[in-house]
Structure 1
Amino acid sequence: MKKQVSQTISACSFYLRNINQISRFLPRPTKERVVNAIITSRLDYCNALLYGTSAVNIARLQRIQNTAARLIMRSPRSDSATPLLRELNWLPIVCRVDFKLLVFTYKAMHNDPPVYLCELVCPYQPTRTLRSANNNMLEVKRTRTKAGDCSFAVTAASLWNNLPTVIKTCDNLTSFKRLLKTHFFRIAY
């Protein structure tokens, strides 16, 4: 993933420099739209594949997001980016990766998913009667390798099982996303 992250950072840095040159002529809402359209979309592209990647790669992508937040808020580099991200209502990169994986999981469980996703997301069915049988949990597949632990079948189930029951029992995708973002926002900030 190092090459993919490096290419993403290179493209984002190029566009951030160009946006910075015209930023003083743009009002804040316009800067937000431009940054969301160009930078955030690149950070979110295929970011579900980043689950389990090194902390160095995540930190590099987080620096780009922090730079984008500082550009929008016209804040110096010495200021902390955490309050800026909170004010912009942006999740950190790690939470964005988990968010996307959980949205894929929700869609695989509730919408009409492709057959291959149905095979990867299996509801937990205990062999005997347990209280956890009604908690809307998924079966976590066992693996023997680090790559296996980062597969969709394992990560989706483990992330899903760690969610509060209120979020897991949402009846539509919009309310699920809203509750999930609020949950991650509380964790991150």
Structure 2
Amino acid sequence: MNDGKTQYLPIVPKSADAIVDKSVIRVGVATITASPCVQCLDVCIDRHLDIKKQVSQTISACSFYLRNINQISRFLPRPTKERVVNAIITSRLDYSNALLYGTSAINIARLQRIQNMAARFIMRSPRSDSATPLLRELHWLPIVCRVDFKLLVFTYKAMHYDAPVYLCELVCPYQPTRTLRSANNSMLQVKRTRTKSGDCSFAIAAASLWNNLPTVIKTCDNLTSYKRLLKTHFFRIAY
């Protein structure tokens, strides 16, 4: 291991921060202290799993690029603005956004403000205008719906074995002990948990979201049709 780049992250409640800050791990002659957060695949994971640091980094990057793009906005027609924003801003908002499931309303609101800023930039609207009509005209789903959309796409792929094995193993079809009408509704088994973190795990979140979908969406025979119907479903809910 590279001693200078090796980190370890203890997952603990906030009440245990003082104890964790003093803990170390010894590997050979190297001493590794606990880190408040670590980077994994460009995602910042903190010891409380509240994704607050990752949200802050995403907002900082999006704000930086929005300011730079705004300096040349008068030279860009609207279709070009949409492509630039989707490539630079929306892609960052969507990257690993499935981890935002179950996060605080504050984190969602902070990311939503960035999306609203991007919509106003494209439509050349003042900050005082409501962003909801702009998002609807651009056909953009709000942040909370984009998180659910991503999770449900993963769920569909896992059910049809078009995902990594470790995800497919977490999706369990619901099998009632006796004959019920719900047996033909493509339901998933929702396991019981006792913690909020357990409710945010993929196995629980995927099953809960999937079971709330209309049957016509769950029974799609190809991914393209499924995504189209799923976006229409969330678009009607959001607007």
Matches within 5 A, 1:43-54: 43-54=93-104
CA distance in structure 2 between the aligned counterparts of 1:75 and 1:65, rounded to whole angstroms: 13
Structure 2, unaligned runs of 5 or more: 1-50
The alpha-carbon deviation at position 111 of structure 1 amounts to 3.6
Any idea what the Cα deviations from partners look like across 1:62-117, whole Å, max 9, x if unmatched? Answer: 00000000000000000000000000000000000000000000000114332211
CA distance in structure 2 between the aligned counterparts of 1:80 and 1:112, rounded to whole angstroms: 40
Any idea what the Cα deviations from partners look like across 1:146-180, whole Å, max 9, x if unmatched? Answer: 10000000000000000000000000000000000
2:169 aligned counterpart, secondary structure:
helix
Judge conservation of contact 2:161–2:168 (CA < 8 Å) in 1.
Answer: no
Structure 1, unaligned runs of 5 or more: none
- For normalisation by structure 1, the TM-score amounts to 0.99
Show the counterpart of 1:112: 162
- For normalisation by structure 2, the TM-score amounts to 0.78
Q: Percent identity?
A: 93
CA distance in structure 2 between the aligned counterparts of 1:113 and 1:27, rounded to whole angstroms: 39
Judge conservation of contact 2:186–2:219 (CA < 8 Å) in 1.
Answer: yes
Larger Rg: 2
Show the counterpart of 2:227: 177
Any idea what the Cα deviations from partners look like across 1:12-41, whole Å, max 9, x if unmatched? Answer: 000000011111110000000000000000
CA distance in structure 2 between the aligned counterparts of 1:55 and 1:153, rounded to whole angstroms: 22
Judge conservation of contact 2:154–2:163 (CA < 8 Å) in 1.
Answer: no
The alpha-carbon deviation at position 134 of structure 1 amounts to 0.6
Structure 1's consecutive aligned runs of 4 or more residues displaced over 3 angstroms after TM superposition are none
The answer to whether the aligner puts 1:121 opposite 2:197 as a matched pair is no
**What RMSD in Å do the two structures reach over aligned CA positions?**
0.6
In proportion to residue count, which structure has more strand? 2
In proportion to residue count, which structure has more helix? 1
2:71 aligned counterpart, secondary structure:
helix
Show the counterpart of 2:88: 38
CA distance in structure 2 between the aligned counterparts of 1:163 and 1:175, rounded to whole angstroms: 14
What is the count of residue pairs matched by the alignment?
189
The alpha-carbon deviation at position 119 of structure 1 amounts to 1.6
CA distance in structure 2 between the aligned counterparts of 1:111 and 1:118, rounded to whole angstroms: 6
Out of 93, 114, 119, the residue aligned to residue 69 of structure 1 is 119
CA distance in structure 2 between the aligned counterparts of 1:113 and 1:59, rounded to whole angstroms: 30
